Structure 1
Amino acid sequence: MEVKMNDLILITSYWLHLLATVVWIGGIIFILFIAIPSSRQVLGAEAGKLMGEISKRFTPLANCSIFLLVITGVALAGFNKQFSGIGLFENNWTATLFLKCILVFGMVIIHFYRGLILTPRIGKTESASEKVSLQKLSLNLVKVNFGFGMLVLLFSGILYLFNT
């Protein structure tokens, strides 16, 4: 079996795309369903400190994953024969990809809003009630990203179906 350079690029792009997806969406699942409930149960009011440390370690991984998803996503779309071009919805595959991209864009906005605006604001807030309110907003945004992430995975399955 002869492997061409385009095949190697495609294989590497798929692998990196899947890896980045696992890190980002898997991280959201871990934080939402394991880290937050466990830290609250064990640490109570001190859970926020642990979650802050987890966030400091996870955020760079998520940022790298987002970068990889964008780069590999563009490459994978370009390699796909179903892709009819940006803004050209000539088939179901391209229309589904567009919807998937909108969801991913929403996830990216939420991720960077939480990290660059909301988290520093929570740290500077002195009012306990305002801090609790901002923390609830942050948690709700993680839940939105979880929902968007599940839809992104669903659309990935649909894209696979349209590609066969």
Structure 2
Amino acid sequence: MSFWVLVASYWVHLLATVVWLGGQTLFLFVAWPALRQQTLDNNQWLALQKRFLPWANGSLVLLLLTGFVQMTQDPNYSGFLTIDSLWAGAILVKHIAFGGMVLLGGYLQFSLYPALDRVKLLAEKRPQLAADEQSALHQQEMRLLRVNLACAVLVLLCTAVATAV
């Protein structure tokens, strides 16, 4: 493989990491407190989330593709599911955490956010029930965003271990 292809892979991988982790951090530490302090309303929160989804999905695809290129070019790589070193173990845990991030993102995108949209419709007819449901959904979302961020931090830790080896 060409040196410059590998350089481009690392560069795109780092950019995708910044988009993914930066977005998660922004939502967890900036937007969520603003929502709780009522300086950001629920509709703005959901609009922000929906606006970030294409960026998150794109960055996950780029992370997968560029990560595969990097992994297969690493001299420590011995083959698919060959766990024969600390590097291979770190990469395995990293991939499990990445899979967790993908599953959580899918659940948020295809289950939780549509439920929040349905609650907005319910608010017109039964405002108290909608408020209770919305509160429960936001609490669930916050838990999932924290787990997602923990998975992202674990990915970075595993990357540090694999890089140090």
TM over 0.5: same fold? yes
The answer on 1:64 being equivalent to 2:58 is yes
> 1:153 and 1:30 mapped to 2: Cα distance?
17
Among 1, 12, 15, which residue is 1:19 paired with?
15
> 2:47 and 2:137 mapped to 1: Cα distance?
18
Alpha-carbon offset, residue 72 of structure 1: 0.4
Among 4, 9, 12, which residue is 2:5 paired with?
9
Letter in 2 for 1:10: L
**Secondary structure in 2 matching 1:87:** coil
* TM-score, structure 2 normalization: 0.89
- Structure 1 counterpart of 2:125: none
Alpha-carbon offset, residue 42 of structure 1: 4.6
Deviates more, 1:97-106 or 1:52-61: 52-61
Give per-residue Cα distances to partners, 1:55-86, cap 9 Å, x unaligned. Answer: 12111000000000000011001110101111
Among 87, 111, 116, which residue is 2:105 paired with?
111
RMSD, aligned CA:
1.4
Letter in 1 for 2:11: W
- Structure 1 counterpart of 2:150: 147
Deviates more, 1:78-87 or 1:121-130: 121-130
> 2:138 and 2:36 mapped to 1: Cα distance?
13
Within-5 A mapping of 1:114-129:
114-125=108-119, 126=122, 127-128=129-130, 129=132
- Runs of 4+ deviating beyond 6 Å: none
Letter in 1 for 2:26: F
Among 24, 49, 67, which residue is 1:28 paired with?
24
> 1:157 and 1:101 mapped to 2: Cα distance?
14
- In the alignment, structure 2 segments of 5+ residues that lack a partner are 123-128
* TM-score, structure 1 normalization: 0.90
Query: Kindly, what percent of the aligned residue pairs are identical?
Result: 34
> 2:95 and 2:152 mapped to 1: Cα distance?
11
- Structure 2 counterpart of 1:93: 87
Q: How many residues align?
A: 156
Give per-residue Cα distances to partners, 1:4-28, cap 9 Å, x unaligned. Answer: x611111000011111011001110
The answer on 1:51 being equivalent to 2:45 is yes
